Structures are given as C-alpha cells and as structure tokens.
Structure 1
Amino acid sequence: MRDAATTLLAALPGPARELAARPFGAEADRRWIEYRPRPRPGACVADLDRAARKAAHRLLATALSPHAYAQAMTIVALEEVLDRQEGWHRGRHSDDYWVTIFGDPGRDDQWSWRFEGHHLSITMTIRDDQVFPTPVFLGANPARVSYAGRTISRPLAPEEDLGRALLEAIGPTGRRAAIISDEAPDDIHSGTSPVADARIEPLGMSASGLGPTARATLDQLVALYLDRLPAELAAAEATRIGGGELHFAWQGPTRPGRRHYYRIQGDDLLIEYDNTSDDGNHAHTVLRRPHSDFGNDVLAAHRAATAH
C-alpha cells in the first residue's frame, strides 16, 4: 500500500495532487463514506492521464482480494449501463471515481487513503504498518442484468444468495426471531454516517440459538464479507471480531425480487445488505467495524497516551 500510494502521488500532476493529498488531521474529509453520486473530496480519476489512472487502480487492488476487485470493476462499469438505462440524462461515467490520500505514505507512521464514487467506497487506515481496512462498501444498480431469463451480470450474487441460504437454514422458529419487520428500509441503516452503529440495535436471531448448519452458514456469510480483503488482511480481521454474540436480522419479504434487507451485528462487526428498489434490483452492501472504522480504536489509544 505504501508503494502503491507513493507511486500514485508521484504520477499526479500538480493540480490533481493538491486535490488528492490531504493532511491526516483533516478529520471531516478522512472519516467519510459517500456511495451516492455526490460531490466528494479528492482527485477524480476522469481527470488523470493513463499512467495515473492505472496507479489509482493499483492502489485500490492492494485493498481487495482478486474476486472483490472484479466485483468493484463490474460496479464501476455498471455506471455506463445505468446511464444508458436512464436515457443518458444524468451523464454518469465509469471514470467518475475519486482518490484521496491522507498524510504522507512515504514517511508517516499514520496515514490513510480512500477510493470512492457511486456504489464504491473503500477506506484503508494505516498505523505502524498495521492496516485497519474498513469501511468497505460495494453496491450495484442494476443489481441484475438478464436476457431471456438468463443472468448477464449480477456482481453481488453471493451476498444475496448466502443471506437467503442462512434465512432458510435457521428454520421457521428462527425466522420468526430473525425477521424484525415486514418492510425493508430505504437504505442500509449505517448509511453515510462516520459512526457505524449509531442507533442500530443488535436485533434478530442470536448466533448462540442457531443449529450446526445455520451456524456454519452464518460463519460462511461473515467470511464472505471479510474475504473482500486480501487473504492476510481477512485473516487478521477474523481474529479481531471479538467474542461477543452475533445477531442476524432480516427486514422485508423473503421472496426474491422484492425489497429486502439483512444485517449481521456484533460488538465490533456490522455487515449490512439491502436491495432497495421496488423491483429489488438495486443493492447496497457494507462491511464496517464500529470500534475500528477509519482506525478509530488504535488512534484513540494513541491520542490518550500521547500529549498533543
């Protein structure tokens, strides 16, 4: 990550470097997640030359496993599909993604970076070469493109299918506990808040009440989100989830093609998935760590121990 971030900064022309390079102490800009088409800090990939664009994508690839990078690139390409679907009125573009680096990756012990645009927001925070790799947001609109009943594109299929498999595995009694509302929310509950679990209660079915098959499916679903990260980071995150109880909650109908939502919540884990459009074809997913998003826990400990 240090090498890729340093290479990117060196590849940026002066004006773009001024937009992309921010101080680590710029808290409002650094503690940021925005997956809607809105103005955002950073340098836009569309304004970069070929070498700088490739450097930005190589930095993004350091944060994602190969399959998650493929998901991300499909999400980026869907901007052109969505623009055509909307009659070209919004002017969406597959290069409308922004990159920002906070601090100096070549010299600082404490720095971070973000790659972000519509339906994609990846933030990595680094302190003393330890990576704090959340939030990681992936969305898709359209979530499914089909022809003659056959799927052409469905980048977040594993997230939906394994969530449904868990709902099936917990059985009728478990579903009565897990389904906390017949209506799906309009969006994931954490939204664009820099605080992951504000006002989100751990409702639904507790992991301790699951049978062996359902518990194994829950573990697979958690691993699916952690495996968005490179193997070394995913393994480290798996050891940091903590020993608290996990809860699985579902909102909305259970029939495919309808608006629905689920989340998995623990002491330092929040996974959310929704499919928000009326035809259930617009998906949002996020992996967050309430205590360590944006490096919160280690930075708080550092501030407490250091005179400023």
Structure 2
Amino acid sequence: MTDGDVAGRMVEAARAWLGSLDDGQREAARWPWPAEEERHRWYYTPTDHGGLPLARMGQRQQQLAMRLVASGLSRPGFVTVSTILGLENVLDQLEGWQVDWGRERGRDPQLYWLRVFGEPSTEGPWSWRFGGHHVSVHHVVLDGTVQGSTPCFLGADPAASPLLGGHVLRPLGALEDLARDLIGSFDEETATKAVISAVAPTDLVTGNRPRVGEGDKAMGLPEVWRGRFDDPRLADAVEEFQRQADAHIGITPEHHDRLSLTAKPKGVSAAEMTAGQRDQLRAVLMTFLGRVPDELAEQEAKKFAGDAIKDVRFAWAGSREPGRPHYYRLQGPHLLAEYDNTQREANHVHTVWRDPVNDFGDDVLASHIAAHHR
C-alpha cells in the first residue's frame, strides 16, 4: 500500500462525513481553502479548537467523524487517541466534577472538534484537523498524496491510572520508558552532555506556536488558548496555576535559557552513541512517527535510515528518577519531537511531533505554488 491509498481513504471518509451534515453543521465543519490563519491555529488545551464538535453531531455523524480520524492514524494511534478522549471522564472525577472552563462541563469527551479545509479530492490541496483536550491531529493532502502530518500532539492526564487487577493504564507510557532506558544506558560523560537543564519546563518548549524557531521558550498556559478569558475568575485561575506550577518545579529564567530551542540542536547526537543506543533512539522516535498510518510512518522513518539517524540529537531535562518531573526532545533535520511530564506530580504528559520545515505541509505547498502558479 502507498500514501496514495491513505489519501484515498481520507477523501472517502471526509466526503462521507461532510455529506451527513446539515447546512448549519457544514458551515462550521468545512472552510474554504486555504484559510491560512485558521488552518495554522492549533491547541491542546480544553479550548475551542475550531470546527464542529462531536457534541453537535448525531450518533451516525460521530461514527463517520471517527472514521475520518482513524484514516489519519495507525491502529495503535487510534486506540491511544480514543483512550485519551475517555480520560476526560477520569480527569473530571479526579477534579471533583468542579472544573468548568466557562462552560457547563469543563472536561467533556464530546468536546473534540473536526474541520476540513477545502474540498476533499485527489486533485489539488485540502486538509483536515481533529483536536480537543490533549489531541491535535493534522493532515494535508495534495494531488492525492498526504504531504504533511504535523503538528501531531498527544497528551494524557492522568498519565497513569489504576485498572482492575493491579494493572495500570499508561496510554503514552512507551514514550517515557524507552527514553528513560536510553538515557540510563549512557555513561556519565554522555549523560552529562544529554542533560541540558537540571529543571524540566512546565510544558512543551514550542507550545502551540504555528511555527517554531530560534530562541523559542516555554509559553505560559494563558497563551495556549483560543483568545483570552473574558471571565476574570478563569483568567486569574490560569495565571495562578502557572505561578504555582513554576514555583513547585523551581524553574528560573536561567533554566528557560538552557531549554530554549536553537537551530543547532542541543544534547547528545546519535553519532556519539553506540549502535545499540542508536537502535534505542530509533525506538523512541517511532513512538512519535508511529502515530500515523503505517504507510506514512514508513516514509517518515526512511528519513532517518542508516547513517541519517546520526544527525538527530537527544536532550533531557529534569530528574532521571521515575516519578519525578522530566522532559526530553529529539531534534534533527525535519524533526522536532518533545515530551514533557511535570504537572500533577509528574503524572500529566504532553507530547508533540513536528517538522519545523513542513508543519501544515507548508514546505511542500510552497514548492507546489512556485512550480504551478507563477
């Protein structure tokens, strides 16, 4: 199978979903291409992600929506996303059913939004996104081929939850375990080079910026929402949460400087690792790339085949002890992957996979426009 098959499934699923909607629903669900400003907006907080939420769909429409979502994910990726949606109920219980975020129910597994940009087709460009709390999936299709699948964000709160029989639900556990095994395999000299800060950031360094670049530092929580809170109560609550989180973890401007994004990646390069450590690094990388359909993941993995992996750097921040706040990132050509687990006593995970050059398919679309629309 090819990425063209993936695009074909997306076209079919998107058309079926859009065809099931009434005029009012379709107005929110499909925007004309390219809608550049809105198409580059993305979030991972429980805010309005833009589009038609599951809550405004009938049961069959929800099923068709999830069919489109599944077309852009691998089987493990879709299971993980479905689990993250269900965790909204768990989080609601943990918070005493009290968090509202200015709406009737603050934690709601039906407040996930789907939007299509353009006309789903095997000709020309179109895209779609699905997002809500702790999920943001994007795909850009051009002439029947998927040309961009980032940013791709997955998070989990709680990161670990009890199951019957003493088992533990950890939807993103592999991202922690594989990376922890990797840094644990380093000798002291290599580990010292890999650790770029003794304190981890309270969130992803790149946040939800449409584009990432030199000098980016962790954004404050109030910035990672659609607009600002009109309700002073909510605005104050978010500001206070940020102050408490920063104070609890002990982060300072100096730590932010050490954690800042740079064009020349920080940390230890795969070239400095043993063959076994490079294999472990690939395993970590595949927990990010493997979110998308196998055909797309295989294409992405080819970018780091053989010696190409040596250009990827691994950077760690925070404690190396399990259960303590920690962060890491992978950075290389066409790659920026971040993992952060600091909030709720290191039981709240944020992860994102990005291509700083081709997020939202921008690089491919620019080349297409230059070649065909002069």
Answer whether TM exceeds 0.5 for this pair: yes
CA distance in 1, matches of 2:362, 2:303: 14
Tell whether 2:184 aligns with 1:168. yes
**Counterpart residue number, 1:101:** 116
Q: Deviations over 1:76-129 (max 9, x none)?
A: 000011111111112211111000000000475200000100000000001112
**Contact 1:196 1:270 (8 Å CA) reproduced:** no
CA distance in 1, matches of 2:288, 2:332: 14
**Counterpart residue number, 1:207:** 270
Change (3 A) 1:148 1:110: closer
CA distance in 2, matches of 1:303, 1:236: 23
**Contact 1:196 1:288 (8 Å CA) reproduced:** no
Tell whether 2:120 aligns with 1:120. no
Return the match for 1:22 from 15, 31, 41: 31
Amino acid at match of 1:218: L
CA distance in 2, matches of 1:133, 1:94: 23
**Counterpart residue number, 2:295:** 232
Q: Deviations over 1:41-60 (max 9, x none)?
A: 10011110011100110001
Report the Cα offset of residue 258 of structure 1. 1.1
**Counterpart residue number, 2:283:** 220
Report the Cα offset of residue 152 of structure 1. 3.0
SS at match of 1:89: coil
Amino acid at match of 1:63: G
Report the Cα offset of residue 149 of structure 1. 10
Amino acid at match of 2:299: A
CA distance in 2, matches of 1:163, 1:150: 24
Report the Cα offset of residue 14 of structure 1. 1.5
CA distance in 1, matches of 2:56, 2:108: 12
Report the Cα offset of residue 241 of structure 1. 5.2
Amino acid at match of 2:169: S
TM, length-normalised to structure 1: 0.95
Tell whether 2:89 aligns with 1:80. yes
Amino acid at match of 2:326: H
CA distance in 2, matches of 1:54, 1:5: 12
Tell whether 2:278 aligns with 1:262. no
SS at match of 2:343: coil
CA distance in 2, matches of 1:66, 1:147: 22
**Counterpart residue number, 1:31:** 40
CA distance in 1, matches of 2:317, 2:164: 30
Tell whether 2:310 aligns with 1:247. no
Q: Deviations over 1:259-288 (max 9, x none)?
A: 110000001001110102151000001111
Return the match for 1:297 from 363, 371, 374: 363
Change (3 A) 1:13 1:241: farther
Any gaps of 5 or more consecutive residues in structure 1? none
Higher strand share: 1
CA distance in 2, matches of 1:260, 1:143: 13
**Contact 1:241 1:269 (8 Å CA) reproduced:** no
Q: Return 140-149 or 183-192, whichever deviates more.
A: 140-149
CA distance in 1, matches of 2:126, 2:171: 31
CA distance in 1, matches of 2:164, 2:111: 31
Question: Matched residue pairs, number?
Answer: 308
Return the match for 1:53 from 49, 59, 62: 62
Return the match for 2:144 from 114, 118, 129: 129
CA distance in 2, matches of 1:151, 1:279: 20
Task: Tell me the percent identity.
Answer: 41
TM, length-normalised to structure 2: 0.79
**Contact 1:195 1:290 (8 Å CA) reproduced:** yes
- RMSD (Å), alpha carbons: 1.8
CA distance in 1, matches of 2:123, 2:30: 13
CA distance in 2, matches of 1:303, 1:106: 18
**Contact 2:121 2:144 (8 Å CA) reproduced:** no
**Counterpart residue number, 2:161:** 145
Report the Cα offset of residue 146 of structure 1. 2.7
SS at match of 1:279: helix
SS at match of 2:345: coil
**Contact 2:163 2:169 (8 Å CA) reproduced:** no
SS at match of 1:296: helix
Any gaps of 5 or more consecutive residues in structure 2? 1-9, 100-104, 216-260
SS at match of 2:295: helix
